[in-house]
Structure 1
Amino acid sequence: MDEERRTVLFSLATRRGIRSHQAFSDEYTRVAEQLRSEGYDVAPAPVARHYERFLKFGEVKTTPHAPTARVLERMFQMPARDLLRSASDVRELEPERSTRASSPPVLDESELLMTARDAASHAGEAASLHLDEMTLDQLHDELVQLTRRYGRTAPDEVYRDATSLLNRAQVLLERTRSPEQHTRLYYAAAQASAMLAAVSFDLGALEPAVTFARSSAQYGKTIGSGPVQAYAYGMMAFMAFWDGRPSEAVRLAKNAQHFGDLGDTARRRLYSIEARAHGHLGNADQAERAIREALDQSSGRRDELHDDIGGEFGFDAARTAMSNATTCLLLRNAEGAEEFAARALTLLRARPADDQPIVVSGPAAVDLARARLLRNQVEGAQEALTPVFQVPPSWRGSGMMERLTAARMELTRPEFRNAPAALELAEQIEEFSALSPIRRLGAVNPLAIEA
C-alpha cells in the first residue's frame, strides 16, 4: 500500500511495532483499562475488519465515537481525526520529529524484520477470517429444507426458523473476508428474508412483509442474482395489489420479468402475478393474456432458486392453476375459476398426503367454493369447503382467510339471505375465521380478492 493510501495511524502503529491486529488490540486494551480506571468511558478494541478500515485513508468518513477516539488519542498523543488523515501528512503531525531531517531514513535489518513479521501476522489474520465450507453447506441445507417444507409447516414455526437462519447468515458475514463466501452468505440471507416476507404476509403483517421483501431484493442486487431479485419483486407486486395498488403491482411484475437468468418457473410465477394484478384492475384482456403467457412457459430453462431449490420459491402447475382461478374470480368468470381450481386440487391430490401444501390446497378449495357460489350452488360450495374447515388455526394464513372473507360476502347476496344452507355456511366461515393468526394478531387487512 503506498503512503498516500495509508493513514497516519498505519504509520504510527507500524513504527511502534503494533501494526498487526493482535498487537494493536493488546495495546489498545491496556490503554483502555488505564482510562477506565481513571473514570472514563471507553469502547472495546475494534474488530479486525474495522481496524483495517482505520489503516486505509478514506475508508472511515467520520471521526470514531468518543469512547474509541479517547483510547486512540491516549495511545498516540494525537487527535483522532488526525490519525485518520493520509500518512503523507505524518511529518507535520508528529511534533517530536526533527524539522532538520531532510534525508530519507536508512533501512536496517531490524526494520525489515519488523515489516516481514507484520506482513506474516496480517496474512495469518486474513487466513483465519475464512469460514469452514461445511459451515456454509449446513446453512444452505437448512435453508433448502425450510423452503421445501414451508407449505407443510405452521407459519409461526417458519418465522422462528427463518429468523434464526437470517441471523446466522448475518453473523457469518462478519467472520469471513472471502468474496466467494460473502456471495454464498448474501444468497442465504436473501432466501431467509424472502421466506420471512412470505410468512409475515401469511400472518397478516403487511408492513414487515414488504420490508423483508425489499431486503431480499437488496441482497440479490448485492450479488447480482436475477432470480433472487425477480422473486422479491414478484412478492412486492403481490403485496401491492393485495394492499389496493394494482397498477403498482403490474409495474413491479413487469420489471421483475426483465431480470436475467430466469427459468420457466420464475417467468410462470411472474406472469401469474401480473394476471392477478390486471384482474384487480378489471382488465380482462390483459389478465387473460398474462394467464396464457404463464401457461406457455415451456422452453426448458431453469434457475437454481425457483427450480433446484424450489419449495416456497417454486411455482408448479398446481400453484399456477390456483392463481389463475383467483384471477378468474376477480373477473367474475365462474366457469374459468371452477376449472382452474378443480385442476389445482386434482394435481395436489395426486401427490402423497404429506406433500400437499396447505398454502396451495386451502386457497384452491376456497376458490372452488366461491366459483360455485357465483353459480348459486351453496351445497357445492359447502362440499368444497369441508376440508378447509379442518385446517388447524395456526395454518389459517392471510391468503386463505381473505378468500374466505370474499366467499362470506358472496353469501350476503339477496338470493342467499333466507336460505338455511347459506346462513349455516356463513356462520361456519365466521367461526373458522375467528381463530386465525391474523385475527389473533389484531391485523386489519384489505381483501385479497375483491367482492
Structure 2
Amino acid sequence: MSIREFAAHLGVHERLVSKWEAGGVRVRPRPVNQAALDTSLARSDDVVHERFSAMLAPVDGADRLAFVDAGAVTGAVPEVLSERELIMAAAHEASEHAAAAEGTNVGATTLAQLDADVRRIANEYVHAAPAPMMVEMLRVRRRVYRLLDGQQKPVDTSHLYLLAGTLSGLLANASTDLGYLDAAGEQIRAAWAYAELSGHNGLRAWTRGMHALIENWSDRPRNAVQLARSGQEFVGPGLGRVRLLNIEARVWARLGSDVETDRCLHAAEAAAGDRRDELHDEIGGVFGFGPAKAAYYAGATCIQLGRAEPALAATERAIALYSSGPPLQRSYGAESLARVDNAAAHLINGSLDGAADALRPVLGLPEDKRIAQLSERLVGLRRRIAAPTYRDAVEARGLDERIEEFCVQFRLPGASGRA
C-alpha cells in the first residue's frame, strides 16, 4: 500500500504514518494504533516470521538476543526491551521450540502451555487495557489454528477446539469493550461453534451469556432473553447459572418488567451452589462471576428500573469488594461501571455531591482503559443531570462539562452508542 492507502486503512492521517516510518521515541503509535498495526502487518506468514523471529542488534555494547513475539510487545518495538518483554519473549521461544521437539502435531506440553496462556490472558484482561491484550489473544489463537490444521488424536482435537472457543470468547469480550458490536457478534458465534465441536457445557453456557449481552447492547433484548435462557440448559446450580440469570434479569429490567426481573434475581439466589465449573471457577478472570461482579450486575439492574436504594447498596458493595480485593483480580471496567451506576443512584436521590464523588476515579481513567460501555453509560447519566432538578445548579453544569470532556476524548471508531 502507499502511505495514503495505509493511513486510510488504519483511520489516521497520512502525516502520522510518515512520522511512524521516520521513527523516534516521540512519535510512537498509541496502544490502539499499535494493535491495529500489529494485526494489519501480521496478515501473512512471511511478515509474521520476519517481524517476530528477528534477532535484535547489540544494545549498549552488549550482545543481547531477544525473540520478540506479538504477545510480548504491547506498544511499538523499543530500542531497548523492557524486562517483562525480554522475559516473555524468551518464554514464548521456549514453548514454541518444545512443541516442535515433541515430534507430534500436538502433545501434552503444548496443550498445557496453551491452557496456561488462556488462563493468564483471561485473568490479566480484567486489569489490562483491551487493545494490547487482543494482540496476545490473536497470537495464541493463531497457534491453535495452526495445530488444528494438522493431525492429532480426537481427544486432543476436542481440547484444541475448546481453546479456540475460549480465545474467540475473549476476543468477543474485547471487541465489545472497544465498541465493535458486529465484530463481537461474529467472534461469539465462532466461540459457540467451537463449544459445540468440543462438547464443553461450561463454554456453551458462558458463550450464550456473552451473546445475550451483545444482543442486548445491540437493541435486540428479546433475542438476548432467549440466549440467556438457552444457556441455562447446560449448567446446574453454580456460578454459570447464577451469571445467566443475572444477565436475563438485566435484560428484563431494560424491557421494564419488574415481575420477570425479580423472578430472575430470586432464581439466581437459589441457583448458588457448590457445583464447580472448569471455565467459571477454575479459569476465572473474564469467565468468572464472583461476589463483586454479581453486586455490580445487581446495581445495574436496579438502576434500569429506577430503584435507587437497592442500587446504592449493590454498587457500594461492588466498589468495596473490587477496592479491597487482590489488585490482579480488580476489574477496572466493572468497578468503573459500578461507579457510574452509583452516581446515577445518587442523582435519583437528589445528591449531586454523591454523584460527583462516585465519578471522580472514572473520569481520571487512562485513555486506553476507557471502554465503550463507559461512554455509553455516561450519556445516560448526562440525561439525568439535564433534568429540571439540576438544570440551574452550577455544580451540575461543571459535572456535565467534565463528563462531556471525557466522552469527547474517548471517541472510538465503531462505538455503538447504546446505553
Q: Within 1, Cα distance between the matches of 2:416 and 2:106?
A: 44
Q: CA deviation at 1:263?
A: 5.4
Alignment-derived partner of residue 415 in structure 2: 443
Task: Specify the alignment match of 1:209 in structure 2.
Answer: 184
| Aligned length in residues | 318
2:329 matched residue in structure 1: 355
Which structure 2 segments of 5+ residues have no match?
A: 1-101
- 1:440, CA displacement in angstroms? 2.8
Q: Offset at 1:349? A: 2.0
Of structures 1 and 2, the larger Rg is shown by: 1
Q: Does 1:185 align with 2:185?
A: no
Cα contact 1:263–1:306 (8 A) shared by 2: no
CA distance in 1, matches of 2:355, 2:307: 16
Paired residues for 1:133-148 under 5 Å = 133-148=108-123
- 2:326 and 2:338 map into 1 onto residues whose CA distance is 17
CA drift at 1:352? 3.3
Decide whether aligned partners of structure 1 residues 263 and 165 sit closer, same or farther in structure 2, where only a CA change above 3 A counts.
Answer: farther
SS of 2:151's equivalent in the other structure is coil
Corresponding position of 2:301: 327
Q: Which residue of 1 aligns with 2:274?
A: 300
CA distance in 2 between partners of 1:157 and 1:217 (Å):
24
The answer for the alignment partner of 2:378 in structure 1 is 404
1:374 match: 348
More moved, 169-178 vs 301-310: 169-178
Counterpart residue number, 1:223: 198
**Does 2:233 match 1:252?**
no
Separation in 1 of the partners of 2:237 and 2:139? 29
CA shift for structure 1 position 442? 4.5
| Aligned partners of 2:179 and 2:412 also within 8 Å | no
Distance, in Å, in 1 between the alignment partners of 2:262 and 2:373 is 22
Q: Is the counterpart of residue 169 in structure 1 residue 144 in structure 2?
A: yes
List aligned pairs for 1:307-322, cutoff 5 A.
307-322=281-296
Cα separation, partners in 2 of 1:128 and 1:355, compared to 1, 3 Å: closer
Match of 1:386 in 2: 360
Q: Distance in 2 between matches of 1:389 and 1:344?
A: 18
Q: Deviations over 1:141-174 (max 9, x none)?
A: 1110000111101010121111111111111112
Identity of matched residues, %: 33
1:283 to 253, 257, 265: 257
For structure 1, the residue ranges without an aligned partner over 5 or more in a row are 1-126
User: In the aligned structure 2, how far is the partner of 1:401 from the partner of 1:415?
Assistant: 23
Query: Which consecutive aligned stretches of 4+ in structure 1 deviate over 4 angstroms post-superposition?
Result: none
Does the Cα contact within 8 Å between 1:369 and 1:381 map onto a contact in 2? Answer: yes
Compute the displacement of 1:354 (Å): 4.2
1:56-135 mapped onto 2 (5 Å cutoff): 129-135=104-110
SS at 1:302's partner residue?
A: coil
* AA matched with 2:135: R
1:342-378 Cα offsets, whole Å, 9 max, x none, are: 1111211221344321021111111100110111211
Following the alignment from structure 2 to structure 1, what is the Cα–Cα distance between the partners of residues 372 and 266? 27
Determine if contact 2:122/2:286 at 8 Å carries over to the other structure: yes
Is contact 2:205–2:240 with CA below 8 Å preserved after alignment? yes
> By how many angstroms is 1:250 displaced?
0.9
Deviation, structure 1 residue 425: 0.5
Classify 1:358/1:303 alpha carbon distance in 2 versus 1 (closer, same or farther; 3 Å). same
Give the match's secondary structure for 1:376: coil
Distance 1:442 1:134 in 2: 40
Matches within 5 A, 1:19-58: none
SS, match of residue 271 in structure 2: coil
SS in 2 for 1:413: coil
Whether the aligned pair in 1 keeps the contact of 2:122 and 2:170 (CA below 8 Å) is: yes
- In the aligned structure 2, how far is the partner of 1:297 from the partner of 1:275? 14
Q: Distance in 2 between matches of 1:411 and 1:338?
A: 17
SS for the counterpart of 2:389 is helix
CA distance in structure 2 between the aligned counterparts of 1:323 and 1:197, rounded to whole angstroms:
19
SS at match of 1:435: helix
